[in-house]
């Protein structure tokens, strides 16, 4: 059976390729998550990793924000750390406090030595993560061609920060490793790069229409260390995605000072956070599409505040093709769903005069 697929001319994919669109496409990072009553209802009965391993539940929580808010793209429900158990790391997620933060990751046996790095296995997605590909197929069946589906992996630096620190505990141990044992750090990034490539290839083969690399914490590094310990690996991941033919999207925060350089890594789309005006970002990186820019914190305020800032960004982004509306980082827990709806509606109604 051939499943209905969104036309490759869907406005989200067209904007990623810097082609003209009828209106701006909009989606939001973490559009599926604890701010939604429907997500909290699913999570009341299942643990986070259990959810990530159920194709049926993956499809349900991925499609919910499309049904509820009308986003122009869906993003696979999974996590940048789901493959770590297959690599040999004992991963768990703490229970998120009710109404407060998301449940954060914990790794009981973090990577601290060369021997720890050597023991890491590159996962085989077909054997170790079959529920991801099955989830992608179930999502596409649920979407029935309405919007494209974005697959994703974590970038080597960001995944390494969890693997080495043992959770969301800063970056000191990982950064110390760069200076104390650069060869060991390279060996770790090499394995995480191979793991990222096989996973994103499997997601695309299963039916994802675009691929995003989450390098959320890369802004921790200075330019010398970015060039040495990150960019060569990101270039390889971008190349692997390019070979599949789907658009590639880079995501990071705190990287405005390196925008021109990041635009040269081989990604079709580069995400920006709120620390740079959108018109400046577009001017400085004319060779790629730009995604992002709205500070997710504004969505915690009155809806009119989010709408005002969102429309100012649409205006400042300008009519040149190649802009995808998004937040600068994920939707925060406690965001009123009606604020999300107000911003999506406003962006979708926006037209250049
Ligand atoms: O709609 C979506 O975007 C959902 C899919 C998704 C994605 C793309 C989830 C679900 N996680 C991610 C990526 C992810 N995971 C990133 C990169 C994006 C970002 O910077 O936000 C990171 C850093 C993680 C690691 C992780 N997993 C965290 C962050 C911890 C920290 O250091 O701040 C958390 C809280 C998780 C668990 C998680 N992943 C996803 C959800 C909805 C949750 C919360 C689980 C729950 O409480 O139900």
Percent of the chain with pLDDT over 70: 97
Ligand 1: does its nearest atom lie under 6 Å from the Cβ of 230?
A: no
Nearest CA to 150 out of 45, 321, 48, 32 is that of: 32
Q: What is the Cα–Cα distance from 301 to 304, expressed in whole angstroms?
A: 8
Reply yes or no on whether the pLDDT at 73 is more than 80: yes
Residue with tokens 């990150």, as numbered in its chain:
230
Reply yes or no on whether the pLDDT at 6 is more than 90: no
The CA-to-CA distance between both ends of the chain, in Å, stands at 44
Clarify whether 17 is annotated catalytic: no
Q: What is the Cα–Cα distance from 68 to 341, expressed in whole angstroms?
A: 8
Residue with tokens 């104390």, as numbered in its chain:
180
* Domains, the chain: 11-294+319-329 (3.20.20.210)
Give me the catalytic one of 11, 18, 35, 43.
Answer: 43
What pLDDT score does 2 carry?
45
Backbone angles phi, psi at 274, to 5 degrees: -90, 5
Q: How far is the CA of 311 from the centre of ligand 1 (A)?
A: 27
Ligand 1: nearest atom to the Cα of 152: 8
| Residues present in the chain in total | 353
Q: How would residue 96 be classed by pLDDT, with cut points 50, 70 and 90?
A: low
Backbone angles phi, psi at 197, to 5 degrees: -65, -45
Q: How far is the CA of 77 from the centre of ligand 1 (A)?
A: 9
What pLDDT score does 95 carry?
79
Give me the catalytic one of 11, 30, 53, 60.
Answer: 30
Q: What is the Cα–Cα distance from 309 to 302, expressed in whole angstroms?
A: 12
Per-residue pLDDT tens over the stretch 125-175: 999 999 999 999 999 999 999 999 999 999 999 999 999 999 999 999 999
Give me the catalytic one of 11, 18, 34, 60.
Answer: 34
What pLDDT score does 101 carry?
65
Reply yes or no on whether the pLDDT at 100 is more than 60: no
Ligand 1: nearest atom to the Cα of 212: 8
Backbone angles phi, psi at 91, to 5 degrees: -95, 135
What pLDDT score does 306 carry?
98
The helix or strand, by DSSP H or E, that contains position 249, with its residue range, turns out to be strand 248-252
Q: How far is the CA of 121 from the centre of ligand 1 (A)?
A: 23
- Mutational pocket test of ligand 1: of 32, 34, 59, 102, the residue with most ligand atoms within 8 Å of the beta carbon: 102
Q: What is the Cα–Cα distance from 338 to 325, expressed in whole angstroms?
A: 18
Q: What is the Cα–Cα distance from 332 to 341, expressed in whole angstroms?
A: 14
Q: How far is the CA of 78 from the centre of ligand 1 (A)?
A: 8
Backbone angles phi, psi at 69, to 5 degrees: -125, -10
Q: Is the pTM of this model over 0.95?
A: yes
Tokens of 90: 């004992």
Q: What is the Cα–Cα distance from 353 to 350, expressed in whole angstroms?
A: 9
Q: Please name the residue whose Cα sits nearest to atom 22 of ligand 1.
A: 80
Clarify whether 137 is annotated catalytic: no
Ligand 1: does its nearest atom lie under 6 Å from the Cβ of 216?
A: yes
Clarify whether 183 is annotated catalytic: no
Reply yes or no on whether the pLDDT at 5 is more than 80: no
Per-residue pLDDT tens over the stretch 211-261: 999 999 999 999 999 999 999 999 999 999 999 999 999 999 999 999 999
What pLDDT score does 37 carry?
98
Given a contact cutoff of 8 angstroms between Cβ atoms, the answer to whether 108 and 92 are in contact is yes
């Amino acid at each position: 059976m051939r499943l209905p697929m969104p036309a490759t001319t869907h406005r989200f994919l067209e904007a990623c390729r810097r082609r003209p669109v009828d209106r701006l496409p909009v989606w939001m990072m973490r559009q599926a998550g604890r701010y939604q009553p429907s997500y909290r209802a699913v999570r009341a009965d299942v643990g986070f990793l259990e959810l990530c391993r159920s194709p049926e539940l993956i499809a349900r929580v991925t499609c919910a924000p499309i049904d509820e808010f009308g986003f122009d793209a869906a993003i696979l429900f999974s996590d940048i750390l789901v493959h770590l158990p297959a690599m040999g790391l004992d991963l768990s997620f703490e229970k998120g406090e009710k109404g407060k933060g998301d449940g954060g990751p914990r790794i009981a046996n973090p990577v601290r030595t060369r021997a720890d790095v050597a023991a890491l296995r590159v996962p085989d997605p077909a054997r170790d993560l079959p529920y991801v590909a099955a989830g992608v197929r179930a999502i596409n069946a649920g979407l029935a061609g309405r919007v494209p589906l974005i697959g994703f992996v974590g970038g080597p630096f960001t995944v390494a920060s969890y693997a080495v620190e043992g959770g969301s505990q800063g970056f000191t141990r990982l950064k110390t490793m760069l200076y104390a044992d650069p060869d060991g750090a390279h060996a770790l990034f090499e394995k995480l790069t191979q793991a990222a490539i096989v996973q994103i290839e499997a997601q695309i083969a299963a039916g994802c229409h675009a691929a995003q690399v989450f390098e959320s914490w890369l802004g921790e590094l200075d330019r010398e260390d970015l060039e040495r310990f990150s960019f060569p690996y990101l270039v390889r991941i971008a190349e692997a995605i390019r070979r599949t033919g789907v658009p590639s999207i880079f995501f990071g925060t705190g990287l405005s000072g390196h925008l021109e350089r990041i635009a040269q890594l081989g990604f079709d789309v580069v995400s920006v956070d709120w620390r740079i005006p959108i018109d400046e970002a577009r001017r400085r990186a004319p060779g790629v599409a730009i995604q992002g820019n709205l500070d997710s914190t504004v969505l915690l305020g009155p809806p009119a505040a989010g709408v005002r800032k969102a429309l100012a960004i649409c205006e400042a982004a300008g009519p040149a093709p190649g802009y995808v509306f998004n937040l600068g980082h994920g939707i925060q827990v406690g965001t009123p769903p009606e604020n999300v709806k107000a911003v999506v509606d406003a962006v979708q109604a926006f037209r250049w005069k």
